Amino acid sequence: MVESCQKMNLQPCKPFLEKVTQLYDTIQVRHGLMLVGPTGGGKTSVYKVLSKALTTLSKEGFYKVHSHVLNPKSIKIPSQLYGDYN
């Protein structure tokens, strides 16, 4: 993670690295997730650092990461984005 931060010109401070670790732990137990928070809170940087770190580890048994960002405003019906029950 530290190497990924340095490649992206980010400061690898402890709270930031903890957020990256928390995101990784959440991904391990969830099928999908949304990152929400205030503007400038580091959401994009956190998932990009995690993505680069895991892709770097692809030589050691991890899969390369491909992320797809969706704009929720581009979908008219919320059930298409979030799902619903029959």
pTM for this prediction: 0.79
Half-sphere exposure of 47 (CA within 13 A, CB side): 14
Q: Where are the domains of the chain?
A: 2-82
* Residue 1 · residue 23 · CB < 8 Å: no
Task: Report how far apart, in Å, the C-alpha atoms of 68 and of each of 14, 15, 30, 32, 53 are.
Answer: 27, 25, 16, 11, 17
Question: At residue 23, what are phi and psi to the nearest 5 degrees?
Answer: -65, -45
Model confidence over 58-72: pLDDT tens digits? 888 888 988 887 777
Model confidence over 7-65: pLDDT tens digits? 999 999 999 999 999 999 999 998 778 888 999 999 999 999 999 999 999 888 888 98
DSSP state of 59: G
